[in-house]
Amino acid sequence: MVAPSSFGNKEDHQIVGCLHMGHLHLPTTHTNCHNNGKMVIGSSKKVVANQLDEEKRVCALVVDDDPLVRKLHQMFLNRQGLDADVAENGKEAVDLFASGMNYDLVLMDMEMPVMDGPKATRELRAMGVTSMIVGVTGRGVEADKAAFMAAGLDDCIDKPLNGGAIIAMLDELAKKVL
Amino acid sequence: MEVDQLQRSFLEYTNSLFRFLDGQFGQLQLLQDESNPEFVFEVVSLFFEDSERILNDLTLALDQQNVDFKKIDAHVHQFKGSSSSIGAQRVRNACIAFRNFCEGQNVEACRRCLQQVKQEYLLVKTKLEALLRLEQQILAAGGVIPMLDS
């Protein structure tokens, strides 16, 4: 168990929020999550032994049609101690949830073939999915962003993602769950 | 060559790339560490593969009798996304211009745009390859790749 007093600065506290969330009994089954045994914390690069139960690890799903973007977003999430599965389009994401998988956080690209972000988000919400869904959009039309939010997003951020945006998202997730 | 000299060359070269690669590239370099020592190389390789596939698809699509502008727009959108994720800002900007011409549905203009995007891609590819070679030289000489200020 990681004690908050062992962290010195504010940034670490933000990550600690996430770790604490990981200790809660989240109503999810992470059958696909791997127990890596290590967790890297932000810029301080402390490696903390992962003592979290596999069931309780925070899991994310990256939904994007571009393999480069999937790899990048997965890496940003891994860096914050999250396991991340990937899906190539909205339909794959919906199928994953329908098959019984559950994720605490979904990064949903807006424009994708087969099924786009807004449609997938609407379907997930209609299925009763309460995970945090964050839309990822290229800089563009405000109306599109608003329509995407209206589909049921918790938040919407611009591509490309960076470390800071991920940390801010995890703070929000921690607040949602705690 | 001395590790110091190689590291200096690396930093100088990286700084000279600011027109081609924006701050996002720095974000990628920050993700590389002892547990992921090849990360930048992997991402850049993926970018090359991705890009070449998309450029081929675009060339084919523009060669058709009946050009499918929707399909072309989708390809260019994807290229815009991947190039901006790696920080290749000139490629991204060329993609933005391309999408504008797609809306106009002008085949000739689109072909010119494709040439422009190809050119920018080849430019950044050359720069990235040179950067990766410098990284390899530093590692081979027993040094570490210097971190940049983001």
| A163–B46 C-beta distance less than 8 A | no
C-alpha distance from B47 to closest chain A C-alpha (Å): 6
Element counts in chain B: helices (H) and strands (E): 6, 0
Interface of A with B in 135-154 (CB under 8 A): 138
Residue owning tokens 């962290």: A7
Q: Which of A50, A68, A116, A136 to mutate to test the interface with B (most CBs of B within 10 A)?
A: A68
State residue A178's pLDDT score.
62
Is residue B132 predicted with pLDDT exceeding 50? Answer: yes
What predicted TM-score, i.e. pTM, was given to this entire model? 0.76
Contact B43 A113 (CB under 8 A): no
Task: Please state, as a whole number, how many other Cβ atoms lie within 10 Å of the Cβ of residue B60.
Answer: 11
* A38 interfacial to chain B (CB closer than 8 Å): yes
Total beta-carbon pairs less than 8 A apart between chain A and chain B: 55
**Nearest CA to CA, how far is B119 from chain A (Å)?**
21
- Residue A44 has what DSSP assignment? G
Note the pLDDT tens digit of each residue in B19-30.
899 989 988 888
Substitution target in A47, A66, A88 with the highest count of B β-carbons within 10 Å is: A66
A24 vs A21: CA distance, rounded Å: 5
Query: A145-166: per-residue pLDDT in tens?
Result: 999 999 999 999 988 888 889 9
Beta bridge partners of A133: A106
